[in-house]
Amino acid sequence: MPFALLKHGLTRHRSVPDVFPEPGELKDSYDIVIVGGGGHGLATAYYLAVDHGITDVAVLERGYIGGGNTGRNTAIIRSNYLTPEGVKFYDESIRLYKDLSNDFDMNILYSERGHYTLAHTDSAIRTMRWRAEVNKHFGIESELVMRDDLMKMVPQLDYSEDVRYPILGALYHAPGAIARHDAVAWGYGAGAARRGVHIHQNTEVTGFEITGANGHAGRVTAVKTSRGTIRAGKVLQAVAGMSGHVAAMAGFRLPLKTVPLQACVSQPLKPFLDAIVVSGSLHVYVSQSSRGELVMGGSTDPYGVYMTRSTLDFKEGLMMHLLEMLPFISEVKLLRQWAGMTDMTPDFAPIMGETPVDNYYIDAGWGTWGFKATPVCGKENARMLATGEVGDLIQPFALQRYHDFNLVGEKGAASVGH
């Protein structure tokens, strides 16, 4: 290994495996154009090819594959949400995740760790009990554990009572897992490309050609890009933080605010924390990756910007709270920090399905909960694009719900104040 490394270091041409074969020029027309080459867009392309045999598909990505929020989340996968709609949806996603390494023939390092959402107040205990009961009703492993049991299950935490938020108990979700997020994007992308889907990186969408009155109830006929115009049978937008911008090009507005969510990792440490630990009151979530780094995140930024900068406020706040839970890591250094632009909805649930433009579909509003939904989104989007039917699992997340005052109210979402 070291000699091979040395050899490649000294030669000019290195043999990098070609995961995404370059499709070359854009074709004049595609049956389906997917705007956004993140996890959701690539998964949709993958299931269009695998489940429905549709391969006349282009995925258009402004940057590079996995460079957006798919590679910027903290890779936590769980289904212990609060609303029945959310629980059923995310549970299907977990079911798909478990088979992904086999499906891709590529290890996504899916690792079941057990997920603990800490409760520091009586009202939080009440909410955890409520969530556990909703979860169990849908057959999901989810339990309220009180402090004495929790001390045996996650002995790493500080259980003293002379802290700002003493730990009273936790919602324990055994299937809670982490995975290598880049591998998820690469697996879906490579699988789709191998079956004939065109993945065009460095291709920015600049507009749409839409027929019909004032863009209302019109039809999209073509997608304008930085590399030319493509005729399209159907279009799906899956662009996270840029959702409002792309929807505006298609002629409609969304109930979204783009807000950065920051995260960071520590230097690698010997394995000591098996569990994924989350605290809503302390605005902290932490897990230890298979590389030994502590992967840490907090709450979304207090106001919206279209930037992925990191702030001192975020790090100060996060570390102060993290040290209350894990005081012994005070000498550990921070290794990397970054941010992603999240698209937050007012009810913390996604927006999926039909839009005011006939053959234009949307996958947005993924705020802080998008990565864990990647497989189920791909599956359901593919079904919708292939058959025109909006599946039962995503029906509750229609954009129309705001017009009907029928919001979802997903208070099980992470890193947001409720």
Partner 1 sequence: MKIMPCPLNGPRNISEFACGGEVEHLPPPDCDHAAWIDYVYLENNTAGVVREWWYHTPTAYWFVAERDTRTDEILRTWPAGEFLAEFGEGR
Contact residues: partner 1, CB under 8 A: 244-245, 253-258, 302-307, 309, 311-313, 346, 402-403
* Three-class DSSP category at 40: helix
Nearer to partner 1, 165 or 252 (CB): 252
What is the dihedral angle through the alpha carbons of 44, 45, 51, 55, rounded to the nearest 10 degrees?
A: 150
Nearer to partner 1, 155 or 417 (CB): 417
- Tokens 């989104």 locate to 377
Distances (CA, A) of 51 to 94, 188, 344, 376: 18, 13, 30, 13
Closest CA to 167 of 52, 282, 9, 259: 282
Cβ at position 247, least distance to partner 1 in Å: 9
Cβ at position 261, least distance to partner 1 in Å: 15
- The per-residue b/e assignment along 12-51, b for 16 or more CB within 10 angstroms, e otherwise, is eeeeeeeebeebeebeeebbbbbbbbbbbbbbbbbbbbbe
Cβ at position 304, least distance to partner 1 in Å: 6
Cβ at position 359, least distance to partner 1 in Å: 22
Cβ at position 141, least distance to partner 1 in Å: 35
Q: What crossing angle do the helices spanning 84-104 and 122-137 adopt, rounded to 10°? A: 60
Nearer to partner 1, 6 or 307 (CB): 307
Nearer to partner 1, 66 or 241 (CB): 241
Nearer to partner 1, 176 or 260 (CB): 260
Nearer to partner 1, 42 or 399 (CB): 399
Cβ at position 307, least distance to partner 1 in Å: 6
Q: Which amino acid is at 221?
A: T
User: How would you class 86 by CB atoms within 10 Å of its CB: exposed for 0-12, middle for 13-18, buried for 19 or more?
Assistant: buried
Nearer to partner 1, 304 or 391 (CB): 304
- d(CA 44, CA 32) in angstroms, rounded, equals 11
Closest CA to 227 of 10, 58, 50: 58
Cβ at position 400, least distance to partner 1 in Å: 11
